Structure 1
Amino acid sequence: MDTTTTTLVQRITRYAYVPFMLLGLNGLGILLAGSGAPKYWLLAILAVAIGASFLAERIIPYEGEWNHDLGDSRRDRIHAVVNESLILVSVAAIPVLAAIVPAPELWPDGLPFAVQVVIAILIADFGITTVHLASHKIGLLWRFHAVHHSVTRFYGLNGLMKHPLHQTIEMVAGVAPLILIGLPLGVASALSLAVAIQLLLQHSNADYRVGPAKYLLALNEGHRFHHLKWAGIGDVNFGLFTLLWDHLYRTYSYDPERRFTTEQLGMAAKPDYPVDYTRQLIYPFKPTGRFTP
């Protein structure tokens, strides 16, 4: 491929990648979920999203080094499989939970299906953002959330690199209020896909562009600030889908001149944090796993 063609592909990817993921794949997921299509089609869309994420990171990398294994690829894949499975299990459990705890008829099921999904995203965004903020302030939560902050490179699979207990707490905070007001299974399915796609985008190593939307959407350009390794400095930009709550909580931060490298990521208080998956599961329960965020 000649230089001109390469540059054209990079330019197209830089501006088309986010619309393809946010509007294209999510839109297709909403269409399928709203039509009652088999749920495995949503898994197929997720597979496409993961493939697109890795491809974009190689066409327009923000930091070339982050595309290479630092002894963490196997661990990150395990985290991704475990935590995505937890999301799928939570969606599958909704009919059971609805039978146990009958919900009042508060869900706006008369609205177009796509609008219902947007409402679910906004409500979930509030719960997840608030728990995320609390996880940086409350020691017990931080011990489990610290697993996510031990990363030393920033790429798509980092979004699901979480301790499963903390992942569960975030899911409960985001989804429980929705279930209590009668969240339909189809909307929940579309929401779970949207969460996975958002995590891929938010932690992507792709140097994409979204214009002024970067001040509203919780994407990688702003989320990198959240992963700065020094205590207190990374206590910003907690949102999953949007930065609305960060603006309200006064936790929003952005500097267009800031450039990120591996040396700026991780946790300064715990530079020797375990890298192995099994040790990361156990570490928060140990006395040495108790440290200030």
Structure 2
Amino acid sequence: MPETMPTTETEVETEVETRSGTEAAPRRPRFALLRHHLLAPAASCFLGVLSLATVLCFHFPELLTSREFRAVYTEDFARTLLLIGLATAFFAGTIAVLRDQHKRLAFVGVGTATVAVLLGGTEVPFDGPVEDTPFSLGLDWFVLALFFSALVFIPLEHAFARRPVPVFRPGWRTDAGYFFMSHVLVQLILILVTTSTSLVVSTVKVPGVQAWIQDLPFVVAFLLAVFLADLAQAVLHRCYHRIMVLWRFHAVHHSSPELDWLAGSRVHFVETVLTRSIVLLPLLFLGFSTSVVNAYAVLVGIQAVVAHANLGIRFGFLEYLIVLPRYHHWHHARHLDYWDRNYAIHLPVIDMLMGSFKLPRDGSWPEEYGVLKRETVPVGILAQHVAPFLGQRTFDEYVR
């Protein structure tokens, strides 16, 4: 494979400086983000749009909020967060305009925040309880997940970045689209996953095993659930890499040229449904309690983001106990020796048992990320969703 290959992520203006040889990537000052010229206008735009989305959720809760997620937060919490978002959007936008920094972004932020206020803002009337509907969008889940993920990981990645990757790096629009889709369509995904698993769970029962598991202490049951779910996921993950028809879908996830907190969202809709079904199946089949399953769902959400994050922190021996960024980054390495390695998403011991564990002892990181042949995966969320159904390539055309 040639040393350098052109990227197909051409929709973004910024280019990322890649490292060569074994030289370490240059590091930015840890608190440079606070002085960045994009901080105020981007924050205004980001919070203005999210504030408007939140107000729309208050107006149309039956249509725009998910039944499962409404139980997680309170109305007062949502209104308080909305107040903070509106105030910050106006303040940051004003600062950006006064400093003549990316006025378009600032005007979008102030404009959307103004529309949110005109639609009722924090005082928008809300007559609960919300009636359950057969199907609704998870716009509330999208808003909260994006807000807190960005709030935590953008500063962390800026302070402890492994590579000097900008927030608006190549492919960020595509990954943001996947993030939006997977959260807004959360109820549709749950319906498909529940439907696909309920038939097996309802027809095949093991009451003795289920009773034993339900009698386990919560912590023990949770750890067992993590092991079994990760084992199921890792076996399926290996199938994604070895069965051509599955790889066409999974290649989308590997196509991002850079890894950060947002890159893990790049997953084909078919893979999302299939993976969640296979992972959930043993947990439901064996009778794990709802609290254990919910706790596992929280762990998956957190660890999936952490594993892809652009964090150059060394965790020492912990890298052999739980999946952390360096471990999973090698799975995404644009390197043939690692294309079939490190399938676990929680526990490296799963890969040790499967014979697929591989982690450099010298603490090194991959130099490049993405599929080995970038031209095999198109650019953009729509093209990437269509391509697996049209592809006729062989494995050699993908990876050799």
TM-score, structure 1 length as denominator?
Answer: 0.76
CA distance in 2, matches of 1:47, 1:39: 18
Larger radius of gyration: 2
- Of 340, 345, 353 in structure 2, the residue corresponding to residue 235 of structure 1 is 340
Bigger shift: residues 59-68 or 103-112:
103-112
Which structure has more relative contact order (CA 8 Å, sep 6+)? It is 1
Match of 1:52 in 2: 152
Match of 2:273 in 1: 168
State the AA in 1 paired with 2:298.
Answer: L
Q: The residue matched to 2:173 in structure 1 has which SS?
A: helix
Relative to structure 1, the CA distance from residue 83 to residue 45 in structure 2 (aligned partners, 3 Å threshold; closer, same or farther) is: closer
Q: The residue matched to 1:156 in structure 2 has which SS?
A: coil
Q: Is the 8 A contact 1:91 1:189 kept in 2?
A: no
Match of 2:179 in 1: 80
Q: Is the 8 A contact 2:161 2:312 kept in 1?
A: yes
Q: Is the 8 A contact 2:338 2:358 kept in 1?
A: no
Q: Is the 8 A contact 1:156 1:203 kept in 2?
A: yes
CA distance in 1, matches of 2:393, 2:272: 18
**Post-superposition shift, 1:100?**
4.7
Relative to structure 1, the CA distance from residue 52 to residue 101 in structure 2 (aligned partners, 3 Å threshold; closer, same or farther) is: farther
Match of 1:225 in 2: 330
Matched, 1:245 2:350: yes
- Of 214, 225, 246 in structure 2, the residue corresponding to residue 141 of structure 1 is 246
CA distance in 2, matches of 1:123, 1:169: 16
CA distance in 1, matches of 2:370, 2:225: 32
**Post-superposition shift, 1:163?**
0.8
Relative to structure 1, the CA distance from residue 252 to residue 84 in structure 2 (aligned partners, 3 Å threshold; closer, same or farther) is: farther
CA distance in 1, matches of 2:178, 2:299: 18
Relative to structure 1, the CA distance from residue 113 to residue 233 in structure 2 (aligned partners, 3 Å threshold; closer, same or farther) is: closer
Q: The residue matched to 1:83 in structure 2 has which SS?
A: helix
CA distance in 2, matches of 1:190, 1:86: 21
CA distance in 1, matches of 2:153, 2:281: 29
- Of 161, 166, 174 in structure 2, the residue corresponding to residue 61 of structure 1 is 161
Relative to structure 1, the CA distance from residue 251 to residue 171 in structure 2 (aligned partners, 3 Å threshold; closer, same or farther) is: same
Match of 1:97 in 2: 198
Bigger shift: residues 269-278 or 200-209:
269-278
Q: How many residues align?
A: 260
**Post-superposition shift, 1:205?**
0.4
Matched, 1:188 2:293: yes
Q: Is the 8 A contact 2:330 2:365 kept in 1?
A: no
- Of 213, 220, 224 in structure 2, the residue corresponding to residue 115 of structure 1 is 220
State the AA in 2 paired with 1:283.
Answer: A
Q: Is the 8 A contact 2:221 2:288 kept in 1?
A: no
Q: Is the 8 A contact 1:103 1:180 kept in 2?
A: yes
Relative to structure 1, the CA distance from residue 199 to residue 5 in structure 2 (aligned partners, 3 Å threshold; closer, same or farther) is: closer
Q: Is the 8 A contact 1:143 1:291 kept in 2?
A: no
Q: How does 1:151-166 map to 2 (within 5 A)?
A: 151-166=256-271
State the AA in 1 paired with 2:315.
Answer: V
**Post-superposition shift, 1:56?**
0.9
Unpaired runs of at least 5, structure 1: 7-36
Q: Is the 8 A contact 1:235 1:251 kept in 2?
A: yes
Match of 2:72 in 1: 40
Matched, 1:258 2:357: no
TM-score, structure 2 length as denominator?
Answer: 0.57
State the AA in 1 paired with 2:277.
Answer: V
Match of 1:286 in 2: 390
Bigger shift: residues 196-205 or 158-167:
158-167
Match of 2:78 in 1: none
Aligned-residue sequence identity (percent) comes to 22
Unpaired runs of at least 5, structure 2: 1-28, 32-68, 75-140
Relative to structure 1, the CA distance from residue 278 to residue 231 in structure 2 (aligned partners, 3 Å threshold; closer, same or farther) is: same
Q: Is the 8 A contact 2:248 2:391 kept in 1?
A: no
Q: Is the 8 A contact 1:201 1:220 kept in 2?
A: yes
Relative to structure 1, the CA distance from residue 5 to residue 59 in structure 2 (aligned partners, 3 Å threshold; closer, same or farther) is: closer
Q: Which whole-Å deviations, capped at 9, do the CAs of 1:226-280 have from their partners, x for residues lacking one?
A: 112233432111101011121112211112353434xx21122234621200001
Q: Is the 8 A contact 1:218 1:237 kept in 2?
A: no
Relative to structure 1, the CA distance from residue 38 to residue 68 in structure 2 (aligned partners, 3 Å threshold; closer, same or farther) is: closer
State the AA in 2 paired with 1:134.
Answer: C
Match of 1:10 in 2: none
Relative to structure 1, the CA distance from residue 40 to residue 103 in structure 2 (aligned partners, 3 Å threshold; closer, same or farther) is: farther
**Post-superposition shift, 1:158?**
1.8
Bigger shift: residues 39-48 or 127-136:
39-48
